[in-house]
Structure 1
Amino acid sequence: MKKDEPEYSLKNCLKDINQDLIFYGGKNLLGKVVIFSLNISFKLIFWYRISRYCYLKSKMARRALPLIKYRQYIFGGNEIDYRAKLGNRIKFTHPSGVIIGAGVIIEDEVTIFQQTTFGSHGHKDEPKSYPTIKQGAIIYSGAKVIGGITVHENAVIGANSVVLTDVPKNTTAVGIPAKTIE
Structure 2
Amino acid sequence: MKKNDFNYSLKNCLKDINQDLVFYGGKNLLSKVIIFFLNISFKLIFWYRISRYRYLKSKMARKALIFIKYRLYVLGGNEIDYRAKLGKEIKFAHPSGVIIGAGVVIEDKVTIFQQTTFGSHGHKDEPKSYPTIKQGAIIYSGAKVIGGITVHENAVIGANSVVLIDVPKNSTAVGIPAKIIE
Query: Per-residue displacement from partner, 1:39-98 (whole Å, max 9, x unpaired)?
Result: 000000000000000100111221220110010001221010000000000000001000
Equivalent positions of 1:87-106 (< 5 A) are 87-106=87-106
Moved more, 128-137 or 61-70: 61-70
Match of 1:109 in 2: 109
Name 1:32's counterpart in structure 2: 32
CA distance in 2, matches of 1:101, 1:4: 20
Unaligned segments of structure 1, at least 5 residues:
none
SS in 2 for 1:97: coil
Q: Distance in 2 between matches of 1:92 and 1:12?
A: 22
Give the aligned partner of residue 138 of structure 1.
138
Query: Cα offset for 1:5?
Result: 2.6
Within 5 Å, which residues of 2 pair with 1:16-165? 16-165=16-165
Give unmatched runs, 5+ long, in structure 2: none
Question: Structure 1: which 4+ aligned runs deviate by more than 3 Å?
Answer: none
Residue 22 of structure 1 contacts residue 32 of structure 1 at CA under 8 Å; is this kept in 2? Answer: yes
Query: CA-atom RMSD, angstroms?
Result: 0.8
Counterpart residue type for residue 30 of structure 1:
L
Counterpart residue type for residue 30 of structure 2: L
Give the distance between the partners of 2:39 and 2:141, measured in 1 at CA. 19
TM-score, L = length of structure 2: 0.98
Measure how far apart 1:123 and its partner are. 0.2
Amino acid at match of 1:44: L
Equivalent residue number for residue 11 of structure 1: 11
CA contact (8 A) 1:3 1:85 kept: no
- Look up the SS of the partner of 1:56 in the other structure: helix
Question: Residue 159 of structure 1 aligns to a residue in which SS?
Answer: coil
CA distance in 2, matches of 1:15, 1:33: 16
Identity of aligned residues (%): 87
- TM-score where L is the length of structure 1: 0.98
Q: Distance in 2 between matches of 1:90 and 1:4?
A: 20
| Residue 3 to residue 72, structure 1, CA distance change in 2 (3 Å) | farther
CA deviations over 1:116-141 (Å, ceiling 9, x no partner): 00000000000000000000000000
How far apart, CA to CA, are the structure 2 residues paired with 1:3 and 1:142? Answer: 31
Q: Which amino acid aligns with 1:78?
A: N
Question: 2:95, 2:125 → 1: CA distance?
Answer: 32
User: After the TM superposition, which of the residue ranges 94-103 and 4-13 deviates more from structure 2?
Assistant: 4-13
SS of 2:145's equivalent in the other structure is: strand
Deviation at 1:4, TM superposition (A): 3.6
In structure 2, C-alpha distance between the alignment counterparts of 1:172 and 1:159, rounded to whole Å: 11
The alpha carbon displacement at 1:3 in A equals: 5.7
CA–CA distance in 1 between the matches of 2:77 and 2:36? 18
Number of corresponding residues: 182
